A and B are shown apart, each in its own frame.
Chain A
Amino acid sequence: MNKKKLVKQLAAILALIMLFVGLDVGIYQLFIKRVTSHRSPAMQKQMIVVSDYVPFTGAPGVFSCDTAERIEGDIPTIDGATALLPLYAGFVESVYPEGSVIFNGEAYEEESAMHYTNTLGAYKDLVDGKADIILCAQPSDEQLAYAAEHGVEFEMTRIGSDAFVFIVNPSNTVDDITLDDVRGIYSGKINNWKELGGKNREIAAMQRVKNSGSQTALEKVMGDVPIAKDYTTLFGSPIGFSYRYYVTGLLAEDKVKILKINGVEPTPETIADGSYPISGGVYAISRKGDTNENVRKVKDFMLSPEGQKIVEQSGYIPIA
């Protein structure tokens, strides 16, 4: 047998194996490792542990008031954004009748007076009449248009605040950006961290789904500046956005860094005094003209000193 030929054949086989190994290691390091959650499957699905926020169960995440008058009769269905679950769970436990909430261990039953969907689902359900009060950030233009198409007008009552925050990996050396930088990043004009004083790495500007609460907040920050298409650069370093308490409280995620905006860190104090430039309102939203008196009673409770205490205890910023 030709020894030289055998060596060539073995080298070709080895080269092919190494090619696939290299490819798979690359896919693992640049893709699989980044998208593998360190949370349990249940947490991954729900993002937060829903059972920590079920009213009337002694759940640890629910803060309520035991002296408020409970509503009777036509009980309004309440729902809201994922990030505001502790808040409406606290309000429900304070003023709703105990038997009105039906949680089956994984989700709320259809006939329950409290649901837990998300911003997209909550706005749609409010318009469709499947929810009567929702707790969310401001609606997107599409959500307003959907309401208008169905002859519904929103009655928005601000009950608290939270900060809209931008987050990066802690390995990113940038700590502070300006609102103009945010607009530059998400319009695609700034695409390398070195332009902001960081390392020479591309910026992977992550976005969320259209009409989610935080994507709508980004659109409001951008104003008239068009948002570039969502893109992910494999070798870059990411930036994303969320709400402060969702990151620090509900997810308790300590492996991300929240950026200062215009030199101001989002703290309860800077959000309350308005020095953090992009604090977002937390709203209780109902249909204008809803004749159910309990809708008004529940919203009045949210604005009462007891209700505002729940806002604060749940991790958000009460209105002044």
Chain B
Amino acid sequence: MKDKTFYILLALIFVIGTGITIGMFIHGCKLFQTISIVELISNWS
């Protein structure tokens, strides 16, 4: 694999991975604001 291709692939994976991780975190924060403590505790084993 050429160095350029390798670095492009790494950068692509990094961008997509970071996007998914941040997206999941934002999604979780939104859910956290709507859930009741009672249900949060029932989910939290």
Residue among B24, B34, B39 with max Cβ neighbours from chain A (10 Å): B39
Contact with A along B1-45 (1 / 0, CB 8 A): 100001001100110011011001101100110111111111111
Q: Nearest Cβ in chain B — how far from A144, in angstroms?
A: 25
The answer to whether B35 and A256 have CB atoms under 8 Å apart is no
If A24-B24, A27-B25 touch, whether A36 touches B44 (CB-CB below 8 Å) is no
A-chain residues with CB within 8 Å of residue B41 when the two chains form the complex:
167-169, 206, 238-240, 256
If A12-B10, A16-B10, A33-B43 touch, whether A28 touches B24 (CB-CB below 8 Å) is yes
The answer to whether A253 and B39 have CB atoms under 8 Å apart is yes
Number of interface residues of A (CB under 8 A): 47
B-chain residues with CB within 8 Å of residue A10 when the two chains form the complex:
1
CB under 8 Å from chain B, chain A span 175-211 = 204, 206, 208
Main secondary structure of the interface of B (DSSP, over half): helix
CB under 8 Å from chain B, chain A span 127-184 = 167-171
B-chain residues with CB within 8 Å of residue A23 when the two chains form the complex:
17, 21
Contact with B along A20-40 (1 / 0, CB 8 A): 100110011001111111110
If A19-B17, A20-B13, A27-B28 touch, whether A35 touches B45 (CB-CB below 8 Å) is no
A12 and B10 alpha carbons, distance in the complex (Å)? 8
B-chain residues with CB within 8 Å of residue A228 when the two chains form the complex:
none
B-chain residues with CB within 8 Å of residue A17 when the two chains form the complex:
13, 17
A13 contacts chain B at the CB level, 8 A cutoff? yes
Select from chain A the residue with minimum beta-carbon distance to B14. Answer: A16
The answer to whether A167 and B38 have CB atoms under 8 Å apart is yes
A238 and B42 alpha carbons, distance in the complex (Å)? 9
13 A-B pairs with CB atoms under 8 Å apart are A9-B1, A12-B6, A24-B24, A32-B31, A33-B43, A38-B43, A167-B38, A169-B41, A171-B45, A206-B37, A240-B40, A240-B41, A251-B38
Apart from A6-B1, A44-B35: 15 A-B pairs, beta carbons within 8 A: A13-B9, A23-B17, A24-B21, A27-B28, A32-B28, A34-B43, A34-B44, A35-B40, A37-B31, A44-B34, A204-B44, A240-B38, A241-B37, A255-B42, A256-B42
